[in-house]
Amino acid sequence: MLAHLNGRTVITIPGALRLVGLVGSAWATLVILGAALAYLPGHPDFSPLSTYLSDVGDTPGWPGILFNAGTLMSVPLRYLVLTLLTLRLMQLGAGRAFAAAVLIIGFASTAGTALMTATPFSVSPLAHKTGIGLYFLGVVVLQTLIGIREWNLKGVPRVLPALSFALVILYGVFATLMVLFMQGAMARTTPVVWEWLAILSSIVWMLAQSVVLGREDAREQATGA
């Protein structure tokens, strides 16, 4: 992560991406596990097949505190990962227009995360739904954009854009099922597992992008790129 250039020690973009991505992935995992464990004693019927993560966040006491506070704290961390990823892809050939689009859409999506977390459904249904819309729509557009660009960049393993496209599918399925549920076309529990798959896959995506693109070749180490 550290490189020496003209007698100075500098932090490289790949190294910073790797470090922040690992921290962000670990933090997200700990937040979900901690909130779920705090939720379990009062809700022994808890299951990823029937309990939404938003149910955990909307629970008084430690489950809601851990989930909401942890998620809010992860918002700037996630945006930092996205910023470093964008800079890394620019090093590999992505253009400025791509970078601007990713950062703008990413900001809207992370703002949606903050909004839906800070205002649970029981507090403000409208604000919560608005945050959900910004977050999920932002993720779909963002991952489509990143997936297409990574697919066309030399030196980027195909597994990375494949993970982006997988996220688009999972989030798209979950959003579609939620719309059908709100229209009364299916049971409340039907979309639950897809929410868990979408969230867990986003952690895997962050981890994979950070580890793979966080590698530094000899040329980059020598130049401090």
Residues 178-211 have pLDDT tens digits of 889 888 898 988 999 999 999 999 999 999 999 9
How many Å apart are CA 128 and CA 112, to the nearest integer? Answer: 9
Round to whole Å and give the CA distance between 107 and 179: 24
With a cut of 70, say whether residue 221 has pLDDT above it: no
Domain region containing 31: 11-38+49-216
Quick one: how far is CA 176 from the chain centroid? 19
Mean pLDDT of the chain: 88
Rg, the chain, Cα only: 19
Q: Is residue 118 part of a domain?
A: yes
Distance CA 137, CA 144 (A): 11
Tell me if 110 is assigned to some domain. yes
pLDDT tier at 217 (50, 70, 90 boundaries)? low
| Number of domains observed in the structure of the chain | 1
Per-residue model confidence (pLDDT) at position 219: 40
Alpha-carbon distance of 199 to 46, in angstroms, equals: 17
1: in domain: no
Residue 29 within a domain: yes
Asked whether residue 222 is domain-assigned, the answer is no
Is residue 166 assigned to a domain?
yes
Is residue 43 included in any domain, yes or no?
Answer: no
185 part of a folded domain: yes
Whole-number Å distance between alpha carbons of 162 and 147: 7
